[in-house]
Chains A and B, each alone.
Chain A
Amino acid sequence: MYDANKILIGLAIFLGLMTYPVWSGLGRAVQAPKPEIDTPIIQKMPEKKCVENTHFMKTTHMQLINEWRDDALRKGEREYTNARGEKVLMSLQLTCMNCHSNKDKFCDSCHNYAGVNPYCWDCHLTPKQMKEGI
């Protein structure tokens, strides 16, 4: 090989970068997050159900909340009819966070895991802040 030192060093750097996920996680077990739904209000519910079914909420809640924001703030509509025909108040703080009052253990557990940083809390108050009356 010609210029072997330069070429092999470059190749080693490339292979090192490409396999970064493999060697950076060596010997470390990664646990999938388990969002907790163990809050006083959810515990009191006879049938544990969210606004829509679990699969929909898992995959599409961000789009739903985003639509709620547009409807509530831009069109002034605050009533959402879900697939079960029930009417729900469109509100992050009063509807979602009313049941899911444990932001740290519910919202954040998956959001941190997936590296998502939604800007809900730029404007909205977290349940903790609401309680403290900030």
Chain B
Amino acid sequence: MGITVSLGAVLAIIFVALIGGSTPGLQYVFGVFLPYVAFAVFLAGFAYRVVNWGRSPVPFRIPTTAGQEYSLPWIKQSKIDNPSTLWGVLIRMALEILVFRSLFRNTKAELRSGHIVFGPAKWLWLGALAFHWSFLIIAIRHVRLFVEPIPVVVQALDTVDGMLQIGAPALYITDLLLVVAVTYLFLRRLVVPRMRYISLPADYFPLLLIFAIATTGILMRYFIRVDIVGVKTILVGLSTFHPTIPEGIGAIFFIHLTLVAVLLAYFPFSKLMHLGGVFLSPTRNLANNNRMKRHVNPWNYPVKVHTYEAYENEFREQMKEAGIPVERE
């Protein structure tokens, strides 16, 4: 059910973009208007979501992390897993964001001759790592089509990615990795019954969309060739606010561009926001220093306190009469 909806949506986008990209009058809509709107939605939506998260209070440090917390001197603290300092937190966050440490902890429960056995399950971690890093490198590589002159870093990354020197234009390692990884992540949801049970259109749609983006990109680079100088003219035109659409750009480019625009516009409304959200994980980014620093509940309001002193002042006579000891006569 979820797959049908998602697949239908992606195919509909491709179909609409195919029509738009092959109609000269509509090329401006799909090549200029849509990318601008999508990018604006992406930036504004992303900022809104992050600020909105920032507005929700975290009342207390969450110390439930794997590892021994800071304790007595002879008990060894786990400094990265349960840090009490800023540096520990930074290392923990870096490991989480760069190498997905939480996913690495993924385990699998199995019944083996009547006993439940827990074992490591690293495939998801490996697939996710390949997928995210490829995607990042591909995104950075694309900067070459948006700016002139091209930064040295981008150029160097391009060379490293194409270092196998297979064919011309050179095959990118990340292109291959991305397709393999996204296929694995998709099939995992289809084949594993438990995964399939909890998968929603919101899970399938981004995977299929990214698969379609990768496929159209690869088609454009290796099979249905387009004039790359013309493509760069369009994209530089977009980034310098002098949009132009040169003639003779194939519809495949507009399909690719429209799919990316949809991804960008969809981004702030979807689970893809984990790009920003991972930085705001309370169990990862808060130092476990509950006992060292005073953390005041952020939603505390001034409470009217009735101190014992005031109480005694108020009832001193009655207390004396009843024989209750008082602090001041």
Contacts and interface: CB of A to CB of B under 8 A. Distances in A.
A18 B44 CA distance: 12
A76 interface: no
A118 B279 CA distance: 39
A32 interface: yes
Nearest to A67: B168
A30 to B, nearest CB: 5
Nearest to A66: B168
Contacts of A26: 240
B317 interface: no
B280 interface: yes
B144 interface: yes
Contacts of B145: 114-115
A29 B244 CA distance: 13
B144 A115 contact: yes
B168 A11 contact: no
B228 A25 contact: no
Contact of B47 (A1, A4, A11, A114): A11
B147 A14 contact: no
Chain A contact residues, majority secondary structure: helix
Interface string A4-17: 10011011001100
Contacts, number: 100
B229 A21 contact: no
- Band of interface residues on B: 35 or more
A81 interface: no
B54 interface: yes
A110 B229 contact: yes
B25 interface: no
A24 interface: yes
B232 A113 contact: yes
Given A25-B236, A55-B248, A59-B227, A1 B55 contact: yes
Nearest to A56: B225
B226 A59 contact: yes
A3 B54 contact: yes
Most buried by A among B47, B58, B147, B246: B147
A94 interface: no
A130 interface: no
Interface stretch (B5-13, B117-125, B148-156, B210-218): B148-156
A115 B143 CA distance: 10
Contacts of A115: 144-145, 150, 154-155, 158
Which 10 residue pairs are nearest across A and B when measured between Cβ atoms? A21-B146, A115-B144, A21-B239, A59-B225, A66-B168, A62-B168, A7-B54, A115-B150, A1-B54, A30-B148
